[in-house]
Amino acid sequence: MRALIVDPDAPGSLRLGTNAEPQAAPHQLVVDVRHISLNRGEVAFAGRLPAGTVHGYDAAGVVVRAATDGTGPAVGARVTAFGAGAWAQRMAVDTTAVAEVPAQVDLADAAALPMAGITALRTLRSRSILGRRVLITGAAGGVGRYAIQLAALGGAHVIASVGSSSRADGLAELGAHQVVVGLEGVDRPVDLILDNVGGQQLAAAWELLAPGGGVQNIGWASDEPAVFAPYSLVSVGPPKTMTTFGGVHEVGPDLATLLEFVAAGRLSPEVDWRGSWDRVTEASQALLDRRIAGKVAWMWSGRRPTDAPSRRAGGRASPPVPRSPGPSRCRDHGRERVVGDGRFVVGAVRAQGTASDCRSSRNQLLSPPLSAPLVADAGRRARGC
């Protein structure tokens, strides 16, 4: 089968090659991969893997062999999957790391979810965010755009930090209440920082953290060192924390949650670049050069899956996400935008609903373990619903 494999001599250390069919363990199913997505870490660190490794973690496709232990979706199910060796025509993956894709969700959009979406969701679950100030750095990137939307859905006051003003486009529409370049203009303490950038900006962001607040160290896209001033990591009062993130085990239920939100029009997959595998070098370079606003997804060439997107290759626009049909609409957190001939709602949802509609929609997103503190907080902290 064809696969994108690590080759230290190839541009970006990746090339299209061939590999043996994957051997599935009893708890694994085999997916016929239709779409994959790229993440900065995979592209940046491809050269560190042994030559010949099938790379990638994010895929979506159709189950062609069910797990022999009886778990997971059946043959023919459309799934999105997270696991090593995703950038191949077929992938063996643990049944605990897949979720079935609702009929109305495009497989390319589903492929854009796993790594970045799970990271955003799980880091936001690190503490109660309802009514809290959440700072997201690298907010225009793959993780950042999901984090903005999910934090807004969770009722946070969202501050999106970008590297330059041109990268701010569209972030308010996703749910950001404030969009800043670097940390300019963040003049009040924040409760939670999702940091994708690292470097000296991280040291500066730490100074903005409220007592008891926390930093989730997701990534270090700047590739620059951080120097903390003497005693800046020492304080009295409720401790401030800084925590690494890498908990991407058993992501199936969280993938299902993200897919439900995409299906309901509450989460935009933010696929900015689409193409086919033969443009891997171009796409990887665009990602590293900070020219991608969101995610890169592509499909395998030479097939014409019925669920493939009908948009032009390399196009910028994400498809219109169907407008949420449900009654769970919260006042004042909503943002609405028009894409192509469709309308969709991002951030939380708009107007008309009752307070309990609003809370239940958020709790659905932030279901265990975050829902408990969220419910407890709802009465005293909810703004607008």
| Residues of this chain that bind ligand NAP (CB under 6 A) | 39-41, 115-116, 119, 138, 140-144, 162-164, 167, 196-197, 218-222, 245-246, 248, 287, 290
Min separation Cβ 309 and ligand NAP, Å: 20
Task: Kindly tell me which of 57 and 90 has the beta carbon lying closer to ligand NAP.
Answer: 57
Shortest approach of ligand NAP to residue 149 CB, angstroms? 13
Alpha helices in the chain (DSSP H): 40-44, 107-111, 114-124, 142-153, 171-174, 199-207, 252-263, 280-288, 355-365, 371-381
CB 280, CB 14: distance < 8 Å:
yes
Nearer to ligand NAP, 82 or 277 (CB): 82
Which are the contacts of 29, defined by CB distance < 8 A and separation ≥ 6? 63, 65, 66, 67, 72, 73, 79, 92, 93, 95, 98
Choice between 44 and 93, CB closer to ligand NAP: 44
- In sign, the C-alpha dihedral spanning 308, 313, 314, 317 is negative
Q: Between 111 and 197, whose beta carbon lies closer to ligand NAP?
A: 197
Residue 48 Cβ, how far from ligand NAP at the closest point, in Å? Answer: 12
Look-up of token digits 């659905």: 364
CB 290, min distance to ligand NAP, A: 4
Considering the complex, state which of residue 18 and residue 164 has its C-beta at the smaller distance from ligand NAP. 164
The smaller minimum CB distance to ligand NAP, of residues 34 and 40, is found at 40
CB nearer ligand NAP, residue 40 or residue 274: 40
- Closest distance of CB 224 from ligand NAP, Å: 6
Least distance between ligand NAP and beta carbon 39 (Å)? 4
Smallest gap from Cβ 179 to ligand NAP, in A, equals 10
At CB < 8 A and 24+ separation, what contacts does 312-320 make? 312/274, 313/274, 313/275, 313/276, 313/279, 314/273, 314/274, 314/275, 314/279, 315/274, 316/272, 316/273, 318/109, 318/268, 318/269, 318/270, 318/271, 318/272, 318/294, 319/106, 319/109, 319/271, 320/344
Among 134, 60, 120, residue whose Cα is nearest residue 257: 120
Distance separating alpha carbons of residues 328 and 359, to the nearest angstrom: 9
